[in-house]
Amino acid sequence: MRDPFNRGRRRKTRPALVDKKVEFVACQPTRDPNKWVVQLTVNGWPHDVAMWAKDELDVMKQVMEMQRGKTPDNAFDISE
């Protein structure tokens, strides 16, 4: 998904999640068996986040942390 304000540059930082509404959209595994690409919406704006996770359950645990306002150490914003 494209972030219109990012203008094609990749960000290495995660979006600030304190007092934000985070919604899970979808997740897909990559070629690396421990890396997942997760699509989220943060206050209605789409974000693609790369996560180091074993399976879907581990991805959902990290998304639940994000919904509580915490930022997991193994999730990186890769929105274009």
Contacts 24+ apart (CB under 8 A), 57-66: 59/27, 60/24, 63/22, 63/24, 63/38, 66/17, 66/22, 66/40
1, part of any domain: no
61, part of any domain: yes
34, part of any domain: yes
Judge if pTM exceeds 0.75. no
Q: What do you get for the CA distance between the two ends of the chain, in Å?
A: 7
52, part of any domain: yes
35, part of any domain: yes
Q: Which structural domain, as residue segments, surrounds residue 26?
A: 22-77
Residue showing tokens 């990186």: 76
pLDDT digits (tens, 9 = 90+) for 27-38: 999 999 899 999
Residue 78 in tokens: 């890769």
16, part of any domain: no
Contact 20, 43 (CB under 8 A): yes
The pLDDT, as a whole number, for residue 6 is 53
29, part of any domain: yes
The pLDDT, as a whole number, for residue 7 is 52
